[in-house]
Structure 1
Amino acid sequence: MSWSEGPRWAAWGRVTLVAVLVLVAVLNGAAVRGGHYLAPVTAAALLCGVGLLVPGLRGPVAPLVVTVATAWLGWPLLPLLAVVLFDLAVDGRARVAAGCAVAALGANLFSYPATTLWGEQRYASTLFVPLLAMAVGLWLGNRRRLVRALAAQVAHLRVEAELRVEAARATQRSRIAAEMHDVLAHRLSLIALHSGVLVTKSDTLPAPVAERLGLLRTTSTEALADLRDVLGVLRDPGSTPTDGTPAPVLRDVRELVDEARAAGQRIELTVDGLPEQAPTTHRLGVYRIVQEALTNARKHADGAAVTVRVDYRPPATRVEVTNPPGAARTDTVGAGYGLVGLRERVTALGGRLDAGPAGAGTWRLTARIPHQVGTEQNGTRT
């Protein structure tokens, strides 16, 4: 870790440690020299301290300076050598650290007798301090590299998860566009075609009929324009649904529930209002929401009874699916982004979807899609 990358407290701690070790080296040198501070030990200690504190000198210069100074002047500078060995070990340069330690300890055999590292009382510290510094440095360096690797892996997984969520949303938007095209395009095209033919003969028709034809032509044209706008927003040109699932062309929720019951799933269904009271896009959304909710119930609460409530009546289409806890199945495989796609679908329709625990282990999925004023329902404007 460089000077600029380390936390502020660690930087100040290093300054304090090096300053204390330099001061101790100066005092020990003065004690050996009979109280003379202007000695080689003082100059060498200050030079080593500068090398250890200046970021640009810590890598290439400090190890050489401290090794030479320790080899020449002996035990007063041994703590500063331990700092150098620690830095080298943290950076993963264990061989360089070992070389510096061997060079300093070996060359010191020929240094001043008064400060030699190989005095009768210093054998233990001469060997223990460098080894301890290198061991601690290697451990800390490995730990930092492991933390950085784990952080990079977590960041990679986070990006990958975001990309998967975005892909699920894009797939759902493409599916919405395909469903709208399959369900509405043919009907709207017929309306526009026939109304256009009849408008050309409006001069021979009674005034009320001609007025109705004009309204029909205007309505069909606006509907086609709305369809083009929605397709342009939701579907990328040339894209196709990626999961190969055919669009449920206005299949009723009751059919879906009957199929699930035939497969052994216990379902209580309550429907308020008529599907025709809701826009076509709402009916498609309700089908997909109930389909995904029943699938999740089979996966995560197998055998539990499922309660489905659907309300098509204005001012909003509402869906609520709840199930108590059950046994989780292990023979199912899924991408795990079904709710992401449903939320994208409901949001595109101006609604809101919530899913989560509802107490006592019960899971609840709710959706509310408001009816937009001015949309067409059953051939009339609301």
Structure 2
Amino acid sequence: MQVAAMRRWASRHERISDASPAAVLIVIAVAAAAAGDSGWHAPRAAGVAWTALSCVPLVVRSRWPLPVVVVTLTIDLTAMALAPDRVATPTASLVALYTLATRSGRRTAWTVGVIAAVAVTGVYAATHEEPVLVGTSLLRFDFAIAATALGDAVRSRRLHLARVEARAERAERTREAEARRRVTEERVRIARELHDVVAHHITLVNAQAGVAHHLMRTDPDRAYEALAHIKETSRAALDELRATVGLLRQPDDAPDSRAPLPGLADLDALIGGIRAGGLAVTVHRTGLARPVAPATDLTAYRIVQESLTNTHKHARATHADVSLDYGAVTLRVTVTDDGGPHAPKGPGTGHGLIGMRERATAIGGTLTTGPHPGGGFRVVAELPLSLTPATARPAPRKHHP
């Protein structure tokens, strides 16, 4: 954290951070010029002047690293040639080489670094009349290579940290996008549940209320039965709404109801309510009936519920047939009526058929709808009996939290 804070401060105060090494080098040059074999003495002006002159370009080393290397190296080599006894090490050039390596490509940094190392070694050997391969000459070569290597290592480290930070930011954005996607899917699923519950039960209540209104004067007993059906249907609607809205509760909330979501076991009660509304319904089961996955159980129930609701609302049908065919790996649900096309009588949205298709697709199944060859309308759903993570999304739990 402290290193990151120092880096941010240096980026905001670039001129100050660039000038700091120059000031340090000048102080060191003054101290070195004042030291002698017999003790301290007044600094030699030539060495201090050349050092100060070579340090001036370092003030802009971060902005123009390559030109600064060229200028500082030129000044240092000139000083080494004119005052070999006063300037022995091109310190400003070493700082410039380090900066170039941290702010440019590896090829550029090493090309310039090797050229500078060879030039410094050659000038030093020539001015001091020493072989190029002796220790003191090679030491200058090592200095230039070391400055370049250190700068290259710092640049590589910074790139690595930048990649790690970029991956972390990308992962965070991906997690946020995934969370938003799941929230959207959950909202759509709950909206489908609310649509199915409300549309079905309100349709039945409306039909039964019409029957009661028609028979109130001519047949009070049957009107009373219709009102009783209205009471039962509205109570069932409230129970299902409470269970569906309970899905929105937090795990630590105390739910008002722990009623399970409906399934094929509740199909007889559903059919009974439809029949009470005036639509004759028959149910056929083929194959070996057996337990199915919870998501398939709820989806099959909702498809039958929505299909019969659409038949009652839009098709002007008198009879509907529900078929459940248990195959080896799939459950085939077929709902057929003898009415016309399921076109809304009023300003509808068509969410019923869309919702059924989305339900089937969500668990890895299919749904087809269309006119029946023998007349009427048919809904056919192929649903998997068991779900696998690879073919189905997480199914809603049987009980809400």
Report which of the two structures shows the higher radius of gyration computed on alpha carbons: 2
